[in-house]
Amino acid sequence: MKSKLLYIVIIVLSFSAYGQKKKAVNKPLEFADFQQKADSLYTLKEYEKSIPYFTKALEFKKDMQKILLKRGGAYFFIKDNEKAIVDFTGVISLSDKNGAAYHLRGLCKLNLASADPDFTPVKNESGCDDLLKAKQLGFHAELEYLKLACPDL
């Protein structure tokens, strides 16, 4: 009787351990998994590939400035200025003190105003306003060619 009971306990524990092990293998991906993968791809300059991972991370935490800023940066680098502007505007709505978001949104607006795909800056008041706001917040990149479009910088 004791051997049967011991045998049953061993079988139950085996299934229990197997079930726990299987759960660990099939663990659903979490915020950190998506963020880490997105950051890795972004660092490797695989911007287009990073975007879906940033998007999945945002499904977990919609108000993450860092993720919105990086996804916006990825859109910027693949020249999808409209989507980049949406993300940078989202960052600004979360914190109107984010100079990087103003700067990058301003660049996107200048890109949209330019007919040259290689970016010859064209005056765009809204873009220049964003660049000026970024400068006021302490974020300023010394890019002389921007003065062609925004002489007040």
The CATH number assigned to the domain with range 31-149 reads: 1.25.40.10
pTM given for the model? 0.77
Residue 103 has what pLDDT?
93
Q: Do 87 and 71 touch, CB atoms closer than 8 A?
A: yes
Report helix, strand or coil for 129.
Answer: helix
- Average of pLDDT values for 87-101? 96
Residue 22 has what pLDDT?
43
CB atoms within 10 A of CB 47: 20
Lowest model confidence (mean pLDDT) among 30-39, 61-70, 111-120: 111-120
Q: pLDDT per residue over 72-92, tens digit each?
A: 999 999 999 999 999 999 999
Instruction: Report d(CA 121, CA 134) in Å as an integer.
Output: 17
Domains of the chain, by residue range, sit at 31-149
Residue 9 has what pLDDT?
43
Q: What is the H or E stretch that residue 136 is in?
A: helix 125-136
